[in-house]
Amino acid sequence: MDTAIQAMNETIQPVPHIEKQVEPVVQAEGIHLAFGGQRVLDDVFFELPAGGAVLLRGDNGSGKTTLLNVLSGFIHPERGKVRMCLNGRSLNAPHTSPERLARAGLGRLWQDIRLFPTMTVMENVLAATAGMAGINPFFALAAWPLVRRQEKAAQDRALANLELVGMANRANSSGDKLSVGQMKRVAIARLLQAGAELLLLDEPLAGLDEGSAQGLIKLLNELNEQQGKALLVVEHQHERMAPVCNRTWYLANGKLITEGMPA
Amino acid sequence: MNYLLHLLIYFEIYIIVAMSLNLLIGYSGLLQVAHAAYFGVGAYAAALLALKLGASFLPALFGAALAAAILSLLVSLPAWRFRGDYFVMISLAVQVTLYALMYNWVDLTNGPYGLSGIPRPAIFDSTMATQGGVFAFYGVIVIFIAVTLGLLKHSPFGRALQAMRDDELAARSLGLPVRMLKVQSFLIASAMVGVAGGMYGAYVSYIDPTSFTLDESILMLSMVIVGGTGNIRGPIVGAAVLIAIPELLRLLALPDAIAANVRLLAYGLLLILMMHWRPQGLAGKYRFE
Amino acid sequence: MQIIANGLIQGLLFALMGMAFSLVYSTTRTFHIALGAIYALAPYILLACIQAGVGWVIGVVAALCISALVGLICEEVLHWPFVRKGAPPEVHIIGSLGMFLVLIQIIALIWGNDTQVLRAGVDEVYTAAGIRLTRAQLVGGGGAIIVMAGFFLWLRRSDLGLQFRAMADNPVLLSLLGRNVRNLRRMVFMVSAGMAGVVALATAYDVGFDPHGGLQAVLVGIVATIMGGRGSLFGAALAGLLLGILRSQVIWHFSARWEEAATFLILALILFFRPQGLFGRALRLEEKV
């Protein structure tokens, strides 16, 4: 058994060396969660290294999305610790709200994307800007010049992020005019605008045609290798994620297996 | 007394009511039925400050805004984890509770007998002797509030409210502080409708609890629904319709006792019809979706 | 002890009202405020029958049947069409508010705004173990117990009852069964209206009635539903009972004018410390928003 695991380990690609953080991005210990009498997460342990890219696999209903929900702070596990180190700050996930986790640098791409339907692409990205003082209405009224300066800076950043995902030319489109692939890119730009360092991606290739899928995979690779973002991807089409994810975890019967080679 | 000016002054008061409710329903996506209660809180606060403490008009208005804003926490704090039906239910409970206090706390509010002799609007020492003066003065207040709302709409705060309205889950996952946003938009909207309440009391010089019931809240709601949620034209249209309907009914020469009931009946029907045929309102931009 | 007995009787009526509201809310997720108008209507039907000389028995039956009919109308005219259009909850809420307004105004137009009574003079009093209860209280409390017990038995034993419970557990899943749901929904609205009618008649017999009593009643139903937890009929009933007992304590120790405020305070505390209510199941992620 040990030699098999050792053999598997030796075929794993080395992780690109990122100097930013020494601490792993996520350290989870002993997560327990049951729904209606069923153990969805049973004593789950894992460590996601800084700048790592991990593929999470498991059968339908095995709890992959639940694990994402726990990590993003929407569901509290019965037991367990999740320590996150984002942008140099350390957080205890189960006791932190999703909003604070997001502000700390955790980004989530929803399976149903969830762009804001009444806002344009640009407005969608701007809405995610972290650190805007003008989000407080009293401040927005009292310190109008500062707010306008921040707004200008936010717009520059938004354009840069849209360029990165290749959607700068559609900045003024409304959400309903975009293809699924384009919407996902905008959603990713939103996460970057929010300052995400760890991206949780729920079925990113769902609903994409061949060309869009290739493009998205390339983008994710770029985000991981060049921008140093850590990725945790739940994806059915696991073989396609090989260029991006150098680790694969398996979730089955509530147990998480974190050794494994790319499919 | 110039009847047209009288209507226009009412129009001004109700534009503020409609704009403030629009901030909640149209921009923040927070449906609630306690707006008349806060209108009443503002009216009573301004009246009591003027009558018992001798405050002049503008400070009384400020007090009205403050009182309404603080009491808005009664809805926004218990309800901040929720939206949709639970939010409405909590606002209903607050509406009924505040009305009950207005009616029963006789020592403070004089209960069903109401407060009379409320001083007319004044800037510093000069009281508005004429209707025209009141109209102009109130017009300035309306513009001030409209400009404030416009600035907020185009600020990061306004954008965050839109995001929260569109998809609260996504907004939270991007780090938007939705609970705080709900509390803040309630504070602002309630402060504004409190000011409108103070303006109302000063103009009609007598207030009692019957102007601040759930029926009135539903009327205010129908203003925003009929005029359209989400933009600036909507509240103006809604307020105009709200003023116009009783005037049209007046043409039918109904006896006073029935007129009030018929007016409310008409609004109820209007709401039902609007929900069937034009949920987004007559002049609105944003559809409930 | 007397206070507790009074509170218990009141609580039994509140429990039934809570069940009436919760029945619709748990199964269809509809904020059925128009139930308050149905509550207001029932005693008037009884009164009309008595005045027409048809007698009490027929009067009660007629009142309950007409209540059920109005409940059905709400479903057919408002909620089912809205469901078919895929309307968001706000549309249902506003539609129900409109219907509430329309119905109450119709009652006021036909019968006037004054309080009416169903019996003249002092009621018979029965004494046992040092506790005095009027006939009205016994009838009301007894009636509530019979209806609730009967309903719970029916829920457990009958086939249809099973479907009701399934709907309360997971409305979406059951809606995939299609036609069945339509009839189930109709039944839900009718039964809930009947229950509200029973409470209305009992209360009307005890203390009298007017067009505006429906608001207080439906608010009790709402608070009991929230306190009891989404999806739990038994929770709403228990919450109603507790609410009745607590409110009488408040009236006794403080005074009647703080009744509403106390109810709201209880609601606020529950929402803060146990937002899912006494018996509510933990919400799925999507429902939390």
- pLDDT number for residue A263: 44
The pLDDT of residue C169: 72
- Cα A238 to Cα A245: distance, rounded to the nearest angstrom: 9
> Which residues of chain A does C288 touch, with a Cβ-Cβ cutoff of 8 Å?
74
Give the pLDDT score at A262: 46
C199 φ/ψ angles, rounded to the nearest 5 degrees = -60, -40
The chain B residue lying nearest C219, using CA atoms, is: B93
pLDDT: which is higher, B238 or B36: B36
Residue A112 has pLDDT above 80, yes or no: yes
Helix (H, G, I), strand (E, B) or coil at B283: coil
Rounded to 5 degrees, φ, ψ at C18 are: -60, -40
For C180, half-sphere exposure in the C-beta direction (CA atoms, 13 angstrom radius) is: 15
A75 to chain C: which residues are within 8 Å by CB? Answer: 285
Q: List the single range of B56-60, B213-217, B253-257 with lowest mean pLDDT.
A: B253-257
Residue B111 contacts C, CB cutoff 8 Å: no
Calpha distance C224→C232 (Å, rounded): 10
Residues from chain C contacting residue B94 (CB–CB below 8 Å): 264
Q: What is the pLDDT of residue A4?
A: 55
Is B272 an 8 Å CB contact of chain C? yes
What's the angle, vertex CA B182, arms to CA A144 and CA A152, rounded to 5?
30
B166 and A CB contact within 8 Å: yes
Backbone angles phi, psi at C230, to 5 degrees: -60, 130
Candidates A90, A128, A219; CA nearest to B173 is A128
Nearest chain A Cα to C283, which residue? A75
B162–A127 CB contact, under 8 Å: yes
Contact across the interface for C31 and B265, Cβ inside 8 Å:
no
**C213-228 vs C233-253: helix axis angle to the nearest 10?**
120
ipTM of the shown complex: 0.86
- Range C162-182 average pLDDT: 72
Please give the pLDDT value at position A6: 55
User: Residue B40 to residues B260, B270, C68: CA-CA distances in angstroms?
Assistant: 19, 24, 36
Alpha-carbon span B39 to B215, nearest angstrom: 13
B155: closest CA among A118, A194, A138, A102?
A: A138
Long-range contacts of B160-164 (CB under 8 A, 24+ apart): B160/A127, B160/A135, B161/B27, B161/B28, B161/B29, B161/B185, B162/A116, B162/A118, B162/A119, B162/A123, B162/A127, B162/B27, B163/A116, B163/A119, B163/A127, B164/B28, B164/B29
pLDDT digits (tens, 9 = 90+) for A115-135: 998 899 999 999 999 888 889
**B254: which chain C residues are within 8 Å (Cβ-Cβ)?**
none
Distance CA B158, CA A140 (A): 10
Nearest CA in chain B to A135: B157
Q: Who's near B140: CB < 8 A, 6+ residues apart?
A: none
Q: Which residues on B lie below 8 Å from A134 (Cβ)?
A: 155-157
How many A×B Cβ pairs under 8 Å? 97
Residues in chain A: 263
B146 shares contact with chain C (CB less than 8 Å):
no
Residues of C in contact with B81 (CB under 8 A): 271, 275, 288
Q: Looking at A67-76, B272-281, C30-39, which range is the least confident one?
A: B272-281
Burial of A89 (0-12, 13-18, 19+ CB in 10 A): exposed
Lowest average pLDDT, out of A257-261, B82-86, C107-111, C169-173, goes to: A257-261
Considering only the beta carbons, identify the residue of C33, C88, C215 that sits closest to B288.
C88
Q: For chains A and C, what is the number of CB pairs under 8 angstroms?
A: 4
pTM of the model as a whole: 0.88
Predicted confidence at residue A62, as pLDDT, reads: 73
Q: Which of A33, A67, A68, A74 to mutate to test the interface with C (most CBs of C within 10 A)?
A: A74
Find how far residue B205's CA is from the centre of its chain. 19
Q: Which has more confidence, C271 or B91?
A: B91
> A126 and chain B: CB distance < 8 Å anywhere?
yes
How far does A3 lie from chain B, in Å, by closest CA?
42
Rounded Cα gap, residues A66 and A53, in angstroms: 19
| 8 A C-beta contact, residue C280 and residue C49 | no
Of B154, B148, B33, give the one whose Cα is nearest residue B94: B33
Residue B74: pLDDT over 80:
yes
pLDDT band at A2 (very low <50, low <70, confident <90, very high): low
Residue C71 in contact with residue C190, Cβ under 8 Å? yes
Chain A CB within 8 Å of residue B152 CB: yes
More confident residue, B166 or A20: B166
Q: Which of A96, A242, A104, A114 is nearest to A188 (CA)?
A: A114
List chains touching B (3+ CB pairs under 8 A). A, C
**Residue C87 neighbours by CB under 8 Å, 6+ apart:** B275, B279, B288
CA atoms within 13 A on the CB side of A172: 0
Q: pLDDT tens digits for A8-37? A: 555 555 555 555 546 788 888 888 887 767
Contact A85, A75 (CB under 8 A): no
- Residue to mutate among C35, C76, C83, C93, with most B CBs inside 10 A, is C93
Do B156 and A98 count as a contact with CB atoms less than 8 A apart?
no
Chain-wide mean pLDDT for chain B? 88
Phi and psi at C136, nearest 5°, equal -60, -40
Given this model, what pLDDT does residue C173 score? Answer: 67
With cut-offs at 50, 70 and 90, classify the pLDDT of residue B63: very high
Superfamily of domain A1-105+197-263: P-loop containing nucleotide triphosphate hydrolases (3.40.50.300)
**CB-based contact B119:B127 (threshold 8 Å):** yes
pLDDT, residue B140, reads: 94
- Mean pLDDT value of segment A78-106: 85
Q: Which residues of B touch A119 (CB under 8 A)?
A: 159, 162-163, 166
User: Do B19 and B147 touch, CB atoms closer than 8 A?
Assistant: no
**C85 at A interface, C-beta within 8 A:** no
Q: If you count residue pairs, one on B and one on C, with CB atoms under 8 Å apart, how many are there?
A: 133
User: How far, in Å, CA of C48 to CA of B108, rounded?
Assistant: 40
Provide the residue ranges of all domains of chain A, joining segments of one domain with +: 1-105+197-263, 115-195
**How does the average pLDDT of chain A come out, rounded?**
84
Task: Give the β-pairing of A247-252 and A53-58.
Answer: parallel
Any alpha helices (H) in C176-274, and if so which ranges? 179-207, 213-228, 233-253, 259-273
Residue C2 Cα distances to A181, C9, C142, C246, angstroms: 70, 11, 17, 13
Query: In this model, does residue B34 exceed pLDDT 90?
Result: yes
Tokens 């146990």 -> residue: C274
CB A25 within 8 A of CB A105: no
In whole angstroms, give the CA distance from residue A103 to residue C184.
46
**If pLDDT is split at 50, 70 and 90, which confidence band does B189 have?**
very high
* Rounded distance between C-alpha atoms, residue B101 and residue C65, angstroms: 36
What local confidence, expressed as pLDDT, does residue C175 receive? Answer: 65
* CA distance to partner chain A, nearest, from residue C233 (Å): 20
Residue of C nearest to A68 (CA): C285
pLDDT recorded at residue B213: 93
As a residue count, chain C comes to 289
Residue-wise pLDDT tens digits, C68-89: 999 999 999 999 999 888 888 8
Single-letter code of the amino acid located at A75:
I
pLDDT on residue C17: 95
Give the pLDDT of residue C282. Answer: 56
Q: What pLDDT does C257 receive?
A: 73
Distance CA C273, CA A239 (A): 47
CA distance A85 to A72: 13
For the structural domain made of C2-288, what CATH number should be given? 1.10.3470
- Statement: residue C289 has pLDDT above 60: no
**How far is Cα B158 from Cα B147, in angstroms, rounded to an integer?**
13
Chain B residue numbers touching A107 (CB-CB < 8 A): 173-174
Contacts of B51 (CB under 8 A, 6+ apart): B115, B117, B118, B119
The band of B95, judged by pLDDT with boundaries at 50, 70 and 90, is: very high
Check residues B4 and B189 and name the one with the higher pLDDT.
B189
Instruction: Report the distance separating Cα C174 and Cα C29, nearest Å.
Output: 13
pLDDT of B284 strictly over 70: no
pLDDT of residue A261: 43
Of B165, B174, B188, the CB nearest to A102: B174
pLDDT value at A154 more than 70: yes
Closest CA to B169 of A102, C167, A114: A114
With contacts defined as CB-CB under 8 Å, which chain C residues touch A74? 285, 288
